[in-house]
Structure 1
Amino acid sequence: MLHGMAGSDPALVTLVLGDEELLADRAVSGVVAAARAADQAAEVHDLFGGKVDPGELTRLSSPSLFGDRTVLVIRNAQDLGKDVIAEVVAYAGNPSDDTVLVLVHPGGVKGKALVDGVKKAGAHVVTVNKVTKAGERLDFIKSEVKRAGRGIASDAAQALLDAVGHDLRELAAACNQLAFDTHDKTITLEAVARYHKGQAEVSGFTVADSAVEGRLADALEQLRWALGTGTAPVLLVSALAGGLRGLAKVGGAPRNLRGGQLASHLGMPPWKVDRVRRQLNGWGPEGLSRALQAVASADEQVKGGGADPAYALEHAVQTIVASRTGR
């Protein structure tokens, strides 16, 4: 009974065990997706171990008057209190048909009574241990590329691993980006080398330069790469704001100042002044004002006012490019 209901329904109790966060998140998402495929009205409760009170599991798993399924995800299950662990273990031995319970535990000694108890009760166990060996990481790269509908040559996979490093989230982002940006069925060593030669040094300043110069496709590609390889959204917003403020400073400087005098007045090195003056081509006061407002809005969203920093940043970049009148 415990290991599943009809067809491809998920198990009534699943233990995701191990300390590889990306794979743990995917395992949870897989169970939630399977539950929603079986019942579109399924209600999902995402809880954290340290904040689950005694009796909460019983309350949330009680049958609904409408017969809808409930999905309970308890992350950091090692932080559950002793009373709650006892409640969860007892529940796992006799779970509700209307509830799918997912417990996420990193392994280790803390909360071991929970792991042992739900295993003994017959919970479905998904193990997601750290990917530590180079061979395992290469297998991960190949499987990620395959998920995206592509293949990757062995030397290309090694080059990607060397370029990106060991973090699984960054590797996954790089694989997805490469699959998106290359059109060949199999990603080659040349494709990886070409891609990383142009992309490895992407920073917020690179994105900002492309945006203020009106190069939308470049700016969006660089933005996605920077986010995918771990650049903090707040740094990208800061760089965009800095690029626009540079335009405003140089554009508003006294006309009679030239060369070193202008650089000194603005507090910018001469090479930077020259670059910003070239970037000013096509910009007017109204467009600059609109672009600055868009970045201020993105800043607010990235710092907690919005749900999706990537979307906020992409929208800001699109607005900056659209606000530049010259082409």
Structure 2
Amino acid sequence: MAASIPKIGWEQVSPAPVVLVFGKESFLADRAMQRLRALLLMEDPELEIHDVDAGQYVDGALELIASPSLFDEPRLVRVENGVKATDALIADVLRYLASPVDGTTLVIRHDGSTVRGKKMLDAIRKTPGAIEVVCQPLKRDELVPFVRGELRLLEREATPGAIAALVDAFHSDIAELANAVRQVALDTQGEVTEQVVRTYYSGRVETTAFAVVDAVIAGDVATALVTLRHAIATGADPVPIVAAFAMRFRQLAKVSGAGGGDSQAARQLGMQDWQVRNARKDLRGYTDATLCEAIEAIAHADHAVKGAERDPHYAVERLVRQLAARS
């Protein structure tokens, strides 16, 4: 019986012939994918990157993409949406695992929400040299170590009280928490203390990413662009900025279809009354059509900032202009 492959966290990702990114926490999965791409590009800037939608896969595509080219450039093949894998993809991956191509890194992302592709997942987990990146939602008691890890990456130190304050303020969304840690670390000097956090996020002040979103929803493109450019100039990553847009507009989409009063809708949607109230106010600037267009633009930008385009900063600025013009 074949031994199980190593299970690691996103921060431990390193190049391997086959990588399974598994779990429902999309923020950690995105981090894993970004880290792997960065490491492979460091090894060889001529890396070829190919993205595959598992739900749209056609027979034979993997063999064609993974085959060595004339100049033998290394390849990164990223298979997204593994929960919707076609029968053709499952069959092709099973054949590929028997003889992985040298110089090719195959990454399959599966959130585990369905058993679709179980035979493929089981095979990956028995493939010598493969690794599995575990990306499950973090429990409350895992958030303090997560914040400590984020601070280490930024080469900053914080008091236990400051870390606890950050977790208290942003525990409901790990992407938001990571962005809050980054912003307070970049915008302050010296040890991050509880007082610094309380002052910086007084009254649960939203992070820079959400300030950009607020300006966009208000139709204030000038403020949105100034805030965005300041964020980028101070080192903000475009990925969490787009994630902030995705979170807010998902919320708008949920509320747009909810009936009843604010309290009733909040209970139905698992939200707070004030969130529903604010979302309904924001929705006044949108029709069903423009809201759908906005969500499509965010999905395109999300793809762009994760490697589909060469300039992620331009991609997020383009998104801001598009959405501000629609609102």
Q: Decide whether aligned partners of structure 1 residues 217 and 88 sit closer, same or farther in structure 2, where only a CA change above 3 A counts.
A: closer
Deviation at residue 30 of structure 1 after TM alignment: 2.0
Secondary structure of the structure 2 residue equivalent to 1:169: helix
Partner of 2:262: none
Q: Decide whether aligned partners of structure 1 residues 175 and 58 sit closer, same or farther in structure 2, where only a CA change above 3 A counts.
A: same
Deviation at residue 75 of structure 1 after TM alignment: 0.9
Q: Decide whether aligned partners of structure 1 residues 187 and 69 sit closer, same or farther in structure 2, where only a CA change above 3 A counts.
A: same
Measure the CA separation in 2 of the matches of 1:29 and 1:44: 12
Partner of 2:56: 51
Cα deviation digits, residues 12-64 of structure 1 (max 9, x gap): 11111111111111111222222222221110001111011110001111111
Q: Decide whether aligned partners of structure 1 residues 229 and 48 sit closer, same or farther in structure 2, where only a CA change above 3 A counts.
A: closer
Tell me if the contact between 1:234 and 1:303 (Cα under 8 Å) persists in the aligned partners: no
Higher relative contact order (CA 8 A, sep 6+): 2
Deviation at residue 212 of structure 1 after TM alignment: 8.2
Measure the CA separation in 1 of the matches of 2:187 and 2:242: 14
Measure the CA separation in 1 of the matches of 2:248 and 2:143: 30
Partner of 1:192: 197
Tell me if the contact between 1:220 and 1:314 (Cα under 8 Å) persists in the aligned partners: no
Q: Decide whether aligned partners of structure 1 residues 183 and 228 sit closer, same or farther in structure 2, where only a CA change above 3 A counts.
A: farther
1:106 to 105, 111, 117: 111
Q: Alpha carbon RMSD of aligned pairs, Å? A: 4.0
Tell me if the contact between 1:211 and 1:219 (Cα under 8 Å) persists in the aligned partners: no
Partner of 1:137: 143
1:92-241 to structure 2, matched below 5 A, reads 92-107=97-112, 108-122=114-128, 123-131=130-138, 133-184=139-190, 186-197=191-202, 200=205, 204=214, 220=230, 227=241, 230=244
Q: Decide whether aligned partners of structure 1 residues 159 and 112 sit closer, same or farther in structure 2, where only a CA change above 3 A counts.
A: same
Which is further off, 104-113 or 43-52?
104-113
Residue type of the alignment partner of 1:126: V
1:75 to 76, 80, 87: 80
Deviation at residue 139 of structure 1 after TM alignment: 1.2
Tell me if the contact between 1:142 and 1:157 (Cα under 8 Å) persists in the aligned partners: yes
1:87 to 88, 92, 95: 92
Measure the CA separation in 2 of the matches of 1:9 and 1:135: 26
1:38 maps onto 2:38 in alignment:
no
Cα deviation digits, residues 243-265 of structure 1 (max 9, x gap): xxxxxxxxxxxxxxxxxxxxxxx
Secondary structure of the structure 1 residue equivalent to 2:16: coil
Cα deviation digits, residues 195-219 of structure 1 (max 9, x gap): 01177167536998x9989xx7899
Measure the CA separation in 1 of the matches of 2:47 and 2:228: 41
2:31 to 26, 49, 53: 26
**Which is greater in Rg?**
1
Measure the CA separation in 1 of the matches of 2:81 and 2:241: 26
Measure the CA separation in 2 of the matches of 1:27 and 1:180: 23
Secondary structure of the structure 1 residue equivalent to 2:46: coil
Residue type of the alignment partner of 2:43: A
Cα deviation digits, residues 155-179 of structure 1 (max 9, x gap): 1111112222321110111011011
